[in-house]
Protein backbone atom coordinates (compact mmCIF):
# COMPACT_ATOMS: atom_id res chain seq x y z
CA UNK A 1 0.00 0.00 0.00
CA UNK A 2 1.72 3.12 -1.28
CA UNK A 3 1.03 6.68 -0.21
CA UNK A 4 0.50 8.48 -3.51
CA UNK A 5 -0.91 11.83 -2.42
CA UNK A 6 -1.23 13.89 0.73
CA UNK A 7 -4.24 16.19 0.55
CA UNK A 8 -5.47 18.89 2.88
CA UNK A 9 -8.05 16.69 4.55
CA UNK A 10 -7.13 13.17 3.44
CA UNK A 11 -4.25 10.98 2.28
CA UNK A 12 -4.49 8.67 -0.72
CA UNK A 13 -2.92 5.18 -0.95
CA UNK A 14 -2.71 2.93 -4.01
CA UNK A 15 -3.92 -0.65 -3.39
CA UNK A 16 -2.52 -3.67 -5.18
CA UNK A 17 -5.83 -4.50 -6.86
CA UNK A 18 -5.86 -1.15 -8.66
CA UNK A 19 -8.28 0.53 -6.27
CA UNK A 20 -7.37 3.34 -3.88
CA UNK A 21 -7.67 3.84 -0.15
CA UNK A 22 -8.57 7.26 1.24
CA UNK A 23 -7.53 7.95 4.83
CA UNK A 24 -9.62 10.73 6.32
CA UNK A 25 -7.74 13.18 8.57
CA UNK A 26 -8.95 15.42 11.37
CA UNK A 27 -7.97 18.57 9.44
CA UNK A 28 -10.66 20.77 7.98
CA UNK A 29 -10.37 23.74 5.64
CA UNK A 30 -10.74 27.22 7.05
CA UNK A 31 -8.93 30.39 7.95
CA UNK A 32 -7.50 31.32 11.37
CA UNK A 33 -9.23 28.49 13.17
CA UNK A 34 -12.65 29.19 11.66
CA UNK A 35 -14.19 26.47 9.49
CA UNK A 36 -14.92 27.53 5.88
CA UNK A 37 -15.72 24.87 3.25
CA UNK A 38 -14.67 27.35 0.52
CA UNK A 39 -11.19 27.93 1.97
CA UNK A 40 -7.99 26.61 0.41
CA UNK A 41 -6.06 26.25 3.64
CA UNK A 42 -6.32 23.88 6.58
CA UNK A 43 -7.74 26.21 9.18
CA UNK A 44 -8.03 23.90 12.12
CA UNK A 45 -7.91 20.33 13.35
CA UNK A 46 -10.97 18.90 15.07
CA UNK A 47 -10.73 15.60 16.89
CA UNK A 48 -13.06 13.14 15.22
CA UNK A 49 -13.52 15.29 12.10
CA UNK A 50 -12.07 12.59 9.84
CA UNK A 51 -14.34 9.89 11.19
CA UNK A 52 -17.39 12.16 11.11
CA UNK A 53 -16.60 13.09 7.51
CA UNK A 54 -16.24 9.45 6.53
CA UNK A 55 -19.45 8.45 8.29
CA UNK A 56 -21.50 11.02 6.42
CA UNK A 57 -19.70 10.27 3.13
CA UNK A 58 -20.50 6.57 3.55
CA UNK A 59 -24.14 7.42 4.22
CA UNK A 60 -24.49 9.51 1.06
CA UNK A 61 -22.32 7.45 -1.28
CA UNK A 62 -24.15 4.23 -0.40
CA UNK A 63 -27.43 6.01 -1.06
CA UNK A 64 -26.19 7.32 -4.42
CA UNK A 65 -24.83 3.91 -5.44
CA UNK A 66 -28.20 2.35 -4.61
CA UNK A 67 -29.91 4.97 -6.75
CA UNK A 68 -27.63 4.14 -9.67
CA UNK A 69 -25.82 7.48 -9.59
CA UNK A 70 -22.18 6.84 -10.47
CA UNK A 71 -19.63 7.32 -7.66
CA UNK A 72 -16.14 5.97 -7.01
CA UNK A 73 -17.22 4.51 -3.65
CA UNK A 74 -16.65 0.79 -2.92
CA UNK A 75 -16.75 0.55 0.88
CA UNK A 76 -15.70 2.22 4.09
CA UNK A 77 -14.00 1.12 7.32
CA UNK A 78 -15.08 3.44 10.11
CA UNK A 79 -12.59 1.99 12.62
CA UNK A 80 -9.63 2.57 10.31
CA UNK A 81 -11.20 5.83 9.07
CA UNK A 82 -10.60 4.71 5.50
CA UNK A 83 -12.66 4.40 2.34
CA UNK A 84 -11.91 2.13 -0.62
CA UNK A 85 -12.65 3.69 -3.98
CA UNK A 86 -12.28 2.98 -7.67
CA UNK A 87 -9.52 4.61 -9.61
CA UNK A 88 -10.60 7.97 -11.03
CA UNK A 89 -8.89 10.34 -13.40
CA UNK A 90 -9.40 14.02 -12.60
CA UNK A 91 -10.45 16.62 -15.16
CA UNK A 92 -7.24 18.47 -15.91
CA UNK A 93 -5.54 19.09 -12.57
CA UNK A 94 -8.87 18.98 -10.76
CA UNK A 95 -12.13 20.89 -10.75
CA UNK A 96 -14.48 21.84 -7.97
CA UNK A 97 -18.17 21.83 -8.76
CA UNK A 98 -20.44 23.85 -6.54
CA UNK A 99 -24.21 23.56 -6.23
CA UNK A 100 -25.77 26.64 -4.71
CA UNK A 101 -29.20 26.98 -3.10
CA UNK A 102 -28.49 30.33 -1.44
CA UNK A 103 -26.17 33.21 -2.32
CA UNK A 104 -23.37 33.07 0.26
CA UNK A 105 -19.58 32.65 0.27
CA UNK A 106 -17.56 33.37 -2.86
CA UNK A 107 -20.69 33.69 -5.02
CA UNK A 108 -21.95 36.55 -2.87
CA UNK A 109 -18.51 38.19 -2.75
CA UNK A 110 -18.28 38.09 -6.56
CA UNK A 111 -21.83 39.16 -7.38
CA UNK A 112 -22.67 41.37 -4.42
CA UNK A 113 -23.70 44.15 -6.81
CA UNK A 114 -26.73 42.03 -7.73
CA UNK A 115 -27.17 39.21 -5.21
CA UNK A 116 -28.74 39.66 -1.81
CA UNK A 117 -27.05 37.90 1.10
CA UNK A 118 -28.78 34.52 1.40
CA UNK A 119 -30.93 34.99 -1.72
CA UNK A 120 -32.45 31.70 -2.92
CA UNK A 121 -30.74 30.12 -5.95
CA UNK A 122 -32.20 27.20 -7.88
CA UNK A 123 -29.38 24.62 -7.65
CA UNK A 124 -27.02 26.95 -9.50
CA UNK A 125 -23.97 25.02 -10.69
CA UNK A 126 -20.54 26.65 -10.81
CA UNK A 127 -17.26 25.07 -11.84
CA UNK A 128 -13.94 26.35 -10.53
CA UNK A 129 -10.38 25.28 -11.18
CA UNK A 130 -8.51 23.76 -8.25
CA UNK A 131 -5.76 26.35 -8.25
CA UNK A 132 -4.79 27.70 -4.84
CA UNK A 133 -2.38 30.25 -6.34
CA UNK A 134 -5.18 31.87 -8.35
CA UNK A 135 -7.85 31.42 -5.71
CA UNK A 136 -9.86 28.75 -7.58
CA UNK A 137 -11.11 30.85 -10.51
CA UNK A 138 -14.59 30.08 -11.88
CA UNK A 139 -14.53 28.80 -15.44
CA UNK A 140 -17.22 28.53 -18.11
CA UNK A 141 -18.38 25.56 -20.17
CA UNK A 142 -16.83 27.08 -23.30
CA UNK A 143 -13.47 27.80 -21.66
CA UNK A 144 -13.35 24.28 -20.15
CA UNK A 145 -13.92 22.87 -23.61
CA UNK A 146 -11.43 25.14 -25.36
CA UNK A 147 -8.69 24.45 -22.81
CA UNK A 148 -9.21 20.70 -23.25
CA UNK A 149 -10.32 20.13 -19.65
CA UNK A 150 -13.90 18.97 -20.21
CA UNK A 151 -15.92 18.57 -23.41
CA UNK A 152 -19.26 20.34 -23.78
CA UNK A 153 -21.06 16.99 -23.60
CA UNK A 154 -19.20 16.09 -20.39
CA UNK A 155 -20.04 19.49 -18.94
CA UNK A 156 -23.76 18.84 -19.38
CA UNK A 157 -23.46 15.42 -17.70
CA UNK A 158 -21.45 16.97 -14.86
CA UNK A 159 -24.00 19.74 -14.42
CA UNK A 160 -26.96 17.35 -14.42
CA UNK A 161 -25.30 15.03 -11.89
CA UNK A 162 -24.41 18.01 -9.70
CA UNK A 163 -28.01 19.28 -9.60
CA UNK A 164 -29.31 15.77 -9.01
CA UNK A 165 -26.89 14.98 -6.16
CA UNK A 166 -27.20 18.48 -4.71
CA UNK A 167 -30.95 18.05 -4.49
CA UNK A 168 -30.62 14.57 -2.93
CA UNK A 169 -28.36 15.98 -0.19
CA UNK A 170 -30.68 18.97 0.27
CA UNK A 171 -33.69 16.67 0.68
CA UNK A 172 -31.89 14.38 3.15
CA UNK A 173 -30.89 17.39 5.25
CA UNK A 174 -34.43 18.77 5.10
CA UNK A 175 -35.73 15.50 6.62
CA UNK A 176 -33.72 16.41 9.74
CA UNK A 177 -34.82 20.04 9.76
CA UNK A 178 -31.61 21.35 8.19
CA UNK A 179 -31.25 23.63 5.19
CA UNK A 180 -28.45 23.19 2.65
CA UNK A 181 -27.05 26.53 1.44
CA UNK A 182 -24.33 25.18 -0.85
CA UNK A 183 -22.20 22.10 -1.42
CA UNK A 184 -18.94 21.42 -3.22
CA UNK A 185 -18.34 18.25 -5.21
CA UNK A 186 -15.50 16.65 -7.11
CA UNK A 187 -15.96 14.44 -10.13
CA UNK A 188 -13.65 12.23 -12.15
CA UNK A 189 -13.59 9.78 -15.03
CA UNK A 190 -14.03 6.22 -13.76
CA UNK A 191 -13.83 2.78 -15.39
CA UNK A 192 -12.88 1.62 -18.84
CA UNK A 193 -15.63 3.73 -20.39
CA UNK A 194 -14.37 6.85 -18.54
CA UNK A 195 -17.84 7.63 -17.28
CA UNK A 196 -18.24 10.68 -15.06
CA UNK A 197 -18.62 9.76 -11.40
CA UNK A 198 -18.75 11.59 -8.10
CA UNK A 199 -15.46 11.21 -6.19
CA UNK A 200 -13.90 12.50 -2.96
CA UNK A 201 -16.49 12.93 -0.19
CA UNK A 202 -19.84 14.33 0.86
CA UNK A 203 -19.36 15.62 4.36
CA UNK A 204 -19.86 18.60 6.57
CA UNK A 205 -16.49 19.85 5.38
CA UNK A 206 -17.85 20.41 1.90
CA UNK A 207 -21.15 22.07 2.57
CA UNK A 208 -22.87 24.87 4.42
CA UNK A 209 -25.82 23.53 6.41
CA UNK A 210 -28.06 25.67 8.62
CA UNK A 211 -30.63 25.01 11.33
CA UNK A 212 -32.84 27.95 12.32
CA UNK A 213 -30.42 30.34 10.58
CA UNK A 214 -27.49 28.99 12.59
CA UNK A 215 -24.62 27.26 10.89
CA UNK A 216 -24.28 23.57 11.74
CA UNK A 217 -20.62 22.61 12.09
CA UNK A 218 -19.26 19.41 10.46
CA UNK A 219 -19.16 17.19 13.59
CA UNK A 220 -22.64 18.23 14.63
CA UNK A 221 -23.93 17.63 11.11
CA UNK A 222 -22.83 13.99 11.11
CA UNK A 223 -24.43 13.51 14.54
CA UNK A 224 -27.73 14.87 13.28
CA UNK A 225 -27.69 13.01 9.99
CA UNK A 226 -26.33 9.62 11.01
CA UNK A 227 -27.16 7.78 14.23
CA UNK A 228 -24.09 6.42 16.00
CA UNK A 229 -23.60 2.69 15.47
* Contact flags string 43-62 toward a second copy, x per CB under 8 A: --------------------
165 near a second copy, rule: CB under 8 A: no
111 near a second copy, rule: CB under 8 A: yes
Q: Which of 124, 157, 224, 226 binds a second copy (CB under 8 A)?
A: 124
Contact positions with a second copy (CB under 8 A) in 125-164: 125-126, 129, 131, 133-134, 137-143, 146-149
34 near a second copy, rule: CB under 8 A: no
117 near a second copy, rule: CB under 8 A: no
Q: Which of 43, 98, 52 is nearest to 218 (CA)?
A: 52
CB of residue 91 to a second copy, shortest distance in Å = 11
Inter-helix orientation angle 49-66/218-225, to 10°: 50
Q: Which of 114, 175, 193, 214 binds a second copy (CB under 8 A)?
A: 114
- d(CA 160, CA 166) in angstroms, rounded, equals 10
Q: Which stretch binds a second copy (CB under 8 A): 4-12, 102-110, 184-192, 218-226?
A: 102-110
SS (H, E, C) 93-104: CCEEEEEEEECC
Residue 8 CA neighbour count, 13 Å, CB half: 17
- d(CA 192, CA 178) in angstroms, rounded, equals 38
**According to DSSP H, which parts of the chain are helical?**
49-66, 105-110, 141-146, 152-175, 218-225
- d(CA 147, CA 131) in angstroms, rounded, equals 15
| # of chain residues touching a second copy (CB under 8 A) | 30
CB of residue 8 to a second copy, shortest distance in Å = 18
Q: What is the DSSP letter of 111?
A: S
89 near a second copy, rule: CB under 8 A: no
What residues line the site for a second copy (CB under 8 A)? 92-93, 107, 109-115, 121-122, 124-126, 129, 131, 133-134, 137-143, 146-149
Amino acid sequence: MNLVYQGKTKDVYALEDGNYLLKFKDDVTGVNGVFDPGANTVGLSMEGAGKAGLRLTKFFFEKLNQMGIPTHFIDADLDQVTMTVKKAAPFGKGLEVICRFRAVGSFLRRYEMYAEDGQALDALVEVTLKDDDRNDPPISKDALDMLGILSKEEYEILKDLTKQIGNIVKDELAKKGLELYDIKFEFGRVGEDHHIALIDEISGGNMRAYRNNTRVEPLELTKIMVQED
